[in-house]
Amino acid sequence: MLAAERQAMIVELIRENGSVQVDELARELNVSSMTIRRDLVKLENGNMIERCHGGAVAKQEVAYEKKQTSNKKSKTAIAGKCVEFVHPGDSVFLDAGTTTCEIAKRICDIPDVIVVTNDLEIAQVLKNSNAKVYICGGMLQKETGSLFGRYATEMLKDFRFDVGFFGAASINEDFQVTTPTHEKMWLKRQVPKQCARSYLAVDQSKFGKQSMTWINQLEDYTGVITDRQFTPEEIEVLEMRGVRIIGI
């Protein structure tokens, strides 16, 4: 078995069980404990898992308070650019996240907008605005203030949006969007397809990272609004794939 295949199996076992032990993995995959430990180091360096004493656990979401203070200037600038794509009377989906929360602060005064979100903080921001606001039901992820699960996804299936803005935990070297928690996968993968225009709003810190669960890729959005400076080689690849990069 190739190392990449073995590591993929380890990630899948962690996704299914929440955690794994080194000795159990060594027996199941028929390799030494030292090999498993090297695999876990590689997966942790790739931002796919978190090592713990004797094994590893699924990568956890970063708490909302920590997200709020990281790359604040970039998020503010990205949000300012995003607002250019919202028009009076638009129905808008705002994905959970601190960048999308900055967008919410800036669309309050746009006439007749309707906002649907799965983020409690965004709903609070818009509470006293003129926007009509819908919030998804579902299970609350307390670390991030976002709602997900069957009730949230069932509600969202009935909506079609003029424009949607989405965040991401990580974007790998192949420009695939990934997330640490598989519970959010359906919403983040499906809702962009329900938007006439969909934008991924991400700062440069999200690139070059890999989380455990694949969502989609950059060409699945109308555009990617970011402060990331791409190399000429990356630009060539993105253009070939039809990715529209919108700089700030």
Do residues 79 and 97 touch, judged by C-beta distance below 8 A? Answer: no
CB neighbour burial string for 28-49, b if at least 16 within 10 angstroms, e if fewer: ebebeeebbbebbeebeebbbb
CA distance 85 to 11: 38
Query: CA nearest 182: which of 89, 59, 31, 100?
Result: 59
Q: What is the pTM of this model?
A: 0.76
pLDDT tens column, 159-209:
999 999 999 999 999 999 988 877 778 899 999 999 999 999 999 999 988
Dihedral over alpha carbons 6, 12, 17, 18 (to 10 degrees): 100
Total residue count of the chain as it appears in this document: 248
Residue of 66 and 191 predicted with greater confidence: 191
- Would you list the domain boundaries of the chain? 3-58, 65-247
In this predicted model, what pLDDT tens digit does every residue of 9-41 receive, in sequence order? 888 888 777 788 999 899 989 999 999 999 888
Who contacts 98 (Cβ-Cβ below 8 Å, separation ≥6)? 64, 67, 68, 75, 167
Model pLDDT for residues 35-64, shown as the tens digit of each residue = 999 988 888 877 677 787 788 877 665 544
Instruction: Indicate whether 248 pLDDT > 60.
Output: yes
Fold of domain 3-58: Arc Repressor Mutant, subunit A (1.10.10)
Token output for 179 = 């997330």
Sign of CA dihedral 136, 73, 224, 103: positive
- Give the domain 65-247 fold: Rossmann fold (3.40.50)
Instruction: Pick the closest to residue 10 from 58, 53, 45 (CA basis).
Output: 58
Mean residue pLDDT of the chain comes to 89
Query: Which one has a higher pLDDT value, 221 or 44?
Result: 221
pLDDT(153) > 60: yes
What are the residues facing 52 on neighbouring strands?
55
